[in-house]
C-alpha cells in the first residue's frame, strides 16, 4: 500500500512542531547525524584542542633522549671470520640453486613422461570403447586403461623417489 495516510499525517504534524515522530528511516538517519555533529563540536572545543596540543608537546619532548650505549667494534680476526662465512654461504647458495634446478628438471621430465603415457592410454581407451560392441569389450578397455595408468604412475613415483630428497636451502651465517 506504500506510505499511506498515517505516514503523511505524521510528517505533516512534525512539520507543524506539534510532536516529534520519526517514522521514516531517513529522518532517523538525519537525527543521528545531527547528534554526532553536536558531539564532535563539543569535543573539539578551543579548551580541549589547547589541552591536547600542550599534552602532545609535553609527551613529545621525553622521547628525544638519545641512546648512549655503543656497540663494540669488530676485531680484524672477527671481520675475517665473518667474511669467510659469507663467502662460504654464497658458494653453498650457488650449489643449492644448481641442485634445485637439476631436481626440478628431473622431476618435470618424470611428470611429462607420465602425462604422455596417460594421454596415450586415454586415447587408446576411447578408441577401444567406440569400437567395442559388447559390454565385456568396453569393460576390458576400461580395465586396460586403469592398469596402464597405474603402471605409469608407479614409474613416475619411482623416478621421483630415485631423485632423493628435495635440496634444502642453506642457512645464513650468524651476524
Examine the domain organization and report whether 115 and 50 are in the same domain. Answer: no
Examine the domain organization and report whether 159 and 94 are in the same domain. Answer: yes
Q: What is the mean pLDDT of residues 109-125?
A: 96
- The reported pLDDT for the residue numbered 47 is 67
In whole angstroms, what is the distance from residue 81 CA to residue 74 CA?
11
The answer to whether position 153 is within a domain reads: yes
In whole angstroms, what is the distance from residue 84 CA to residue 55 CA?
53
Q: What is the mean pLDDT of residues 93-111?
A: 94
Q: How many CB atoms lie within 10 A of CB 107?
A: 15
Question: How many independent structural domains does the chain possess?
Answer: 2
- Is the pLDDT at 14 greater than 60? The verdict is no
Average pLDDT in the chain: 79
Examine the domain organization and report whether 102 and 153 are in the same domain. Answer: yes
Q: What is the mean pLDDT of residues 20-42?
A: 59
Q: What is the mean pLDDT of residues 118-131?
A: 94
All residues at 6 or more sequence positions from 43 whose CB lies less than 8 Å from its CB, including other chains:
none
The answer to whether position 133 is within a domain reads: yes
Cell of 94: 650457488
- Is the pLDDT at 90 greater than 60? The verdict is yes
CA dihedral of 124, 126, 131, 137, whole degrees rounded to 10: 80
Range of the domain at 141: 76-163
- The reported pLDDT for the residue numbered 102 is 94
Distances from the Cα of 117 to the Cα of 59, 71, 137, 159, angstroms: 73, 64, 22, 14
Amino acid at each position: 500500500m506504500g506510505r499511506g495516510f498515517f505516514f503523511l499525517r505524521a510528517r505533516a504534524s512534525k512539520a507543524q512542531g506539534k510532536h516529534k515522530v520519526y517514522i521514516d528511516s531517513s529522518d532517523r538517519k538525519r537525527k543521528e547525524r545531527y547528534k554526532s555533529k553536536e558531539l564532535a563540536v563539543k569535543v573539539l572545543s578551543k579548551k580541549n584542542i589547547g589541552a591536547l596540543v600542550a599534552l602532545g608537546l609535553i609527551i613529545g619532548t621525553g622521547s628525544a633522549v638519545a641512546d648512549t650505549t655503543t656497540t663494540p667494534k669488530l676485531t680484524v680476526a672477527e671481520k675475517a671470520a665473518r667474511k669467510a662465512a659469507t663467502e662460504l654461504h654464497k658458494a653453498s647458495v650457488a650449489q643449492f640453486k644448481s641442485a634445485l634446478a637439476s631436481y626440478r628438471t628431473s622431476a618435470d621430465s618424470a611428470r611429462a613422461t607420465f602425462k604422455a603415457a596417460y594421454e596415450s592410454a586415454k586415447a587408446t581407451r576411447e578408441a577401444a570403447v567406440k569400437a567395442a560392441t559388447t559390454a565385456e569389450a568396453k569393460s576390458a578397455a576400461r580395465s586396460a586403461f586403469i592398469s596402464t595408468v597405474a603402471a605409469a604412475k608407479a614409474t613416475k613415483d619411482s623416478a621421483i623417489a630415485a631423485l632423493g630428497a628435495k635440496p634444502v636451502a642453506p642457512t645464513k651465517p650468524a651476524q
